[in-house]
Structure 1
């Protein structure tokens, strides 16, 4: 009978915090290969050590970027983020839009009013009215999702 593998607590923590390095296998720096302390899966640690090699040890950006499995533009972005925010700048950015950026409160009120006065409006007609009034080209699915969320807000 095979023994169950112990769960990797650090891996789970890195996944949960969003700091798991998706390119850990591309890190070929000797310190990360021969050490229990350095962990190529830890994105913040990899970025910090990469910057440290250039700043304190005087290694070139090109060679450090190659050993750490990143492009030079990625290195420069990490450098700017670190200079601006410190260690917090090395945390990965959240991806994607930061909320409903086209359907503002004003547009949502317009949709609600249009549906209240003319309940049988189709999505296509709503899109045409939004484009005419606000000059916005909104995808039909965006409006459909907003319409599905609307009843949930009224119940609360």
Structure 2
């Protein structure tokens, strides 16, 4: 994880609302990334459960902000406002990243500097974390250009996205 002395390349934003059961798994999945130039920003959107308590073990490794409940979009936007990274990734509080997610997506940006957004497939899992199905939208979207992306909406979760903050 990036220290405060260096600017992270990636800002991972986690909007959370009443997800005390899952938030630790989400944060652990970021801490286990093979790519290490990141910051974690958790926007607590007015949770009334034990979310704040569940985050205590991570308080030195994350930027935690509590706000009155305004909805997930407002929480994501607040996170973007606070982000220092060139690249933004979202992670929902009840999801998790596979260990090479950031490495793979940053690699695509490095190989194609003109790109503004990169997204991936995703894995559906059961409550035990066992794979149900790997989703690969590139197999059913005829042409994955801007029109195809808008028409077919091949995104199952915001956690598949990474984009340039300037966009």
What is the TM-score when the length of structure 2 is the normalising length? Answer: 0.22
Structure having the higher strand fraction is 2
By relative contact order (CA 8 Å, sep 6+), the higher-ranking structure is 2
Structure having the higher helix fraction is 1
What is the TM-score when the length of structure 1 is the normalising length? Answer: 0.23
Which of 1 and 2 has greater Rg?
1
